[in-house]
């Protein structure tokens, strides 16, 4: 009878543990998890930004790719801004764990607002151009070009400042040896977040395909202004 009486309590007590473990696999990781998500998102952004940079070499032929990749970038960039913004918020609200982790180097901290502002500017003007159409080229197109060059410069310095952090952070979540370690709390959530951002980007780029038409039919506007 004692065994029968205790069995239900043992089984029921296992459920909160399982729920807790599932929650940790999705949302845990603390400062290390935040760093790994930021690094993985940054690596994906580097690949996509390299692709959009290549389109500039033959923009008259690759304008549709430029538009598609530009829209695809928006959700991953939002994820990157979210992960870095979360660290910023936790640090400056005196979270003890994030205070112990410490801030980025002073130069990178000073650069961060310029990276964020130029990122918002280049994508905001790009999306505005897409919706307004070639008729906006006299005002929005110069702003888009100027913000792009500013963004490219600030982002290049930002990448150089963080590039050495990428390999260890990526190995921690994405190598076969990482599967054998216990220090992977929150990895499922990080992988799902990044995959979700990429899927959202592809969906956004596909949904807005009809908006490409005006620019593709009049793509020479890029080369006359």
| Tens digit of each residue's pLDDT (9 = 90 or more) over 42-62 | 999 999 999 999 999 998 899
- How far, in Å, are 86, 169, 181, 195 from residue 51 at the CA level? 28, 23, 34, 18
Is a pLDDT exceeding 90 seen at residue 17? no
- Which carries the bigger pLDDT value, residue 179 or residue 36? 36
Is a pLDDT exceeding 70 seen at residue 38? yes
Is a pLDDT exceeding 90 seen at residue 77? yes
Q: What is the pLDDT of residue 9?
A: 53
**pTM listed for this prediction:** 0.80
Q: What is the pLDDT of residue 223?
A: 46
Is a pLDDT exceeding 90 seen at residue 224? no
Q: What is the pLDDT of residue 101?
A: 86
Is a pLDDT exceeding 80 seen at residue 164? yes
Instruction: Find the mean pLDDT for residues 113-120.
Output: 94
Q: Where are the alpha helices (DSSP H) in the chain?
A: 2-27, 30-55, 59-92, 96-101, 106-132, 140-162, 166-174, 187-207, 212-217
Query: Residues with Cβ < 8 Å from 69, sequence gap 6 or more?
Result: 48, 51, 52, 55, 205
């Amino acid at each position: 009878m004692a065994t029968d009486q205790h069995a239900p309590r043992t089984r029921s007590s296992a459920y909160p543990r399982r729920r807790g473990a599932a929650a940790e696999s999705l949302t845990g990781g603390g400062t290390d998890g935040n760093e790994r998500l930021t690094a993985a998102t940054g690596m994906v952004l580097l690949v996509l930004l390299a692709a959009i940079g290549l389109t500039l070499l033959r923009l008259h032929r690759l304008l549709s790719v430029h538009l598609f990749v530009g829209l695809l970038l928006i959700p991953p960039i939002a994820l990157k801004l979210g992960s870095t913004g979360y660290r910023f918020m936790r640090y400056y609200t005196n979270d003890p764990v994030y205070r112990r982790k410490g801030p980025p180097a002073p130069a990178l901290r000073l650069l961060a607002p310029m990276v964020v502002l130029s990122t918002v500017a280049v994508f905001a003007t790009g999306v505005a151009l897409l919706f307004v159409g070639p008729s906006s080229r006299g005002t929005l197109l110069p702003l888009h070009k100027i913000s792009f060059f500013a963004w490219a410069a600030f982002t290049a310095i930002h990448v150089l400042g963080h590039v050495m952090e990428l390999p260890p952070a990526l190995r921690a979540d994405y190598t076969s040896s990482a599967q054998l370690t216990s220090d992977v709390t929150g990895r499922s959530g990080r992988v799902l977040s990044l995959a979700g951002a990429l899927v959202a980007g592809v969906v956004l780029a596909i949904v807005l395909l009809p908006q490409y038409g005006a620019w593709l039919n009049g793509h020479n506007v890029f080369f006359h202004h």
